[in-house]
């Protein structure tokens, strides 16, 4: 297979499109108290609205992965980007029902776009660069998500932010559609029948291990992103803008970790060990930051936590892309379906934990107990690392 130098352009445009979906979604994490007052909703309802795109994306991830296998990455991602832009535009209109509807529409777009990366990576990158390319791609979520949380308090209005956001996503989608190709010249990725791809993905223990691992990762990370700024304001008196900037460090330094740790594991192997150690370390650092109650300590500890956490998700997300090179039962044409399974669990973890477990615990027992449970979730993902194989050298 020929790997064209154009692969970096393809990866860069996918990076841009994916990141814009998070830029004007996660600003909700910083604006929680304002939005709860504006819409007249409580913490649980706010958490439901905030995480709703994860639910919709999770339900669509598997069929969207198979859809991408059938029509190609470029077409599928373009459709998803347009839908996400529409959802962001709709969020500019007032009303709780409109907020929930817009978040659901955004989730549809996210679900379609999210599953396309492994298909692109497998087509454009050689096996030894799969982990690095996945890490690079995921930095977009971290950088744009963090940026959204930092800049949210400075927009003139909620309506302005979402109108601008819809336009940015739409432009990024047009650029992606204009320049991205499904594969290098002369490379034909065979299309698998839906049932065949589904069976292959659902019967593979490595896919299940990665899926359950990402479920726990998101179950443990999203509550911090959704609730930390509010918790810091209510219990510690830290201004919302400062709390939002601090919690953005969960993902802001992550782009560095997404490069560093996949690069290290590519040279040293031991992907499973990286996942286990980094998962535990993130939870310990976040709890230390919260228990410290000190703003200066939080800047340092949360920043370190974000750096190490970024080394976990890229390893999970790379599994479907490199699995065909180490497991003869997984063919390249099954990657879309395999990624659909993985993303379903990842997105469901992002949705279920915050409104149905962590927010109710915070309401009944306080944020300290709630964050402790979230930390346990994130650390527990390492249990499933034993189910995945090491990538090819």
CA distance 41 to 32: 10
Q: What pLDDT score was predicted for residue 232?
A: 93
| Domain presence at residue 153 | yes
Q: For residues 184 and 88, what is the distance between their CA atoms, to the nearest angstrom?
A: 33
pLDDT number for residue 365: 95
- Classify residue 334: in a domain, yes or no: yes
Query: Over the stretch 283-298, which tens digit does the pLDDT of each residue have?
Result: 999 999 999 999 999 9
| Two tokens, residue 231 | 């918790």
Low-confidence ranges of the chain (pLDDT < 50): 1
**Does residue 2 sit within a domain?**
no
Helical ranges in 72-115 per DSSP H: 73-90, 96-114
- State how far the Cα of 7 lies from the Cα of 364, in Å rounded to an integer: 50
- Number of domains observed in the structure of the chain: 1
Note whether residue 103 is domain-resident: yes
What is the distance between the alpha carbons of residues 162 and 167, in angstroms, rounded to a whole number?
Answer: 9
Predicted TM-score (pTM) of the model is 0.81
In a domain? residue 1: no
Residue whose C-alpha is closest to residue 212's, from 149, 296, 275, 122:
275
Q: What does the pLDDT read at residue 193?
A: 56
Question: Residue-wise over 67-104: b if at least 16 C-beta within 10 A, else e?
Answer: bbbeebbbebbbbbbbbbbbbbbbbbeeeeeebbbbbb
Q: How far apart are CA 215 and CA 213, in angstroms?
A: 5
Output the domain CATH number for residue 142: 1.20.1250.20
> By residue range, what is the domain housing residue 230?
7-181+194-387
Nearest of 87, 100, 92, 101 to residue 158 by alpha carbon? 92
In whole angstroms, give the CA distance from residue 206 to residue 203: 9
| Domain assignment present for 203 | yes
Question: Could you tell me if residue 254 is inside a domain?
Answer: yes
Token pair for residue 344? 């379903």
The shares of helix, strand and coil residues in the chain, as percent rounded to the nearest 5, are 85, 0, 15
Q: pLDDT value at position 237?
A: 92
Q: What single string gives the DSSP state of each residue in 123-187? A: HHS-GGGHHHHHHHHHHHHHHHHHHHHHHGGGSS-HHHHHHHHHHHHHHHHHHHHHH--SS-TT-
Domain assignment present for 187: no
Separation CA 204–CA 225 (nearest Å)? 32
């Amino acid at each position: 297979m020929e790997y064209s130098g154009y692969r970096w352009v393809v990866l860069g445009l996918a990076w841009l499109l994916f990141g814009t979906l998070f830029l004007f979604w996660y600003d909700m994490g910083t604006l929680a108290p304002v939005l709860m007052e504006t819409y007249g909703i409580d913490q649980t309802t706010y958490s439901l609205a905030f995480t709703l795109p994860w639910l919709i994306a999770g339900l669509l991830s598997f069929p969207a992965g198979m859809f991408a296998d059938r029509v190609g990455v470029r077409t599928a991602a373009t459709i998803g980007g347009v839908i996400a832009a529409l959802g962001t535009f709709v969020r500019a209109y007032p009303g709780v029902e409109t907020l929930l509807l817009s978040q659901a529409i955004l989730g549809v777009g996210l679900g379609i776009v999210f599953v396309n990366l492994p298909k692109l990576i497998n087509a454009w990158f050689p096996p030894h660069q799969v982990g690095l390319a996945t890490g690079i791609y995921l930095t977009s979520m971290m950088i744009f998500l963090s940026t959204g949380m930092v800049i949210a308090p400075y927009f003139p209005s909620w309506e302005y932010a979402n109108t601008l956001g819809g336009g940015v996503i739409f432009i990024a989608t047009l650029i992606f559609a204009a320049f991205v190709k499904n594969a290098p010249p002369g490379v034909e990725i065979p299309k698998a029948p839906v049932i065949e791809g589904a069976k292959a993905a659902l019967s593979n223990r490595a896919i299940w291990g990665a899926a359950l691992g990402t479920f726990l990762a998101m179950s443990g990370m999203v509550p911090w992103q959704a609730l930390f700024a509010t918790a810091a304001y209510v219990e510690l008196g830290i201004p919302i803008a400062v709390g939002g900037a601090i919690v953005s460090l969960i993902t802001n330094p992550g782009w560095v970790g997404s490069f560093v740790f996949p690069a290290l594991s590519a040279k040293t192997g031991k992907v499973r060990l990286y996942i286990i150690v980094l998962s535990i370390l993130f939870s310990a650092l976040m709890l230390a930051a919260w228990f410290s109650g000190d703003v200066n300590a939080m800047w340092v500890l949360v920043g370190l936590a974000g750096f190490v956490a970024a080394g976990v998700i890229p390893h999970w997300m790379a599994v479907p892309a490199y699995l065909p090179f180490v497991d003869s039962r997984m063919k390249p044409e099954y990657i879309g379906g395999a990624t659909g399974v993985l993303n379903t669990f990842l997105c469901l973890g992002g949705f279920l934990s915050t409104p149905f477990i962590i927010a109710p615990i915070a309401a009944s027992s306080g944020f300290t107990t709630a964050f402790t449970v979230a930390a346990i979730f994130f650390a527990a993902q390492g249990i499933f690392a034993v189910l995945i194989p090491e990538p090819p050298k």
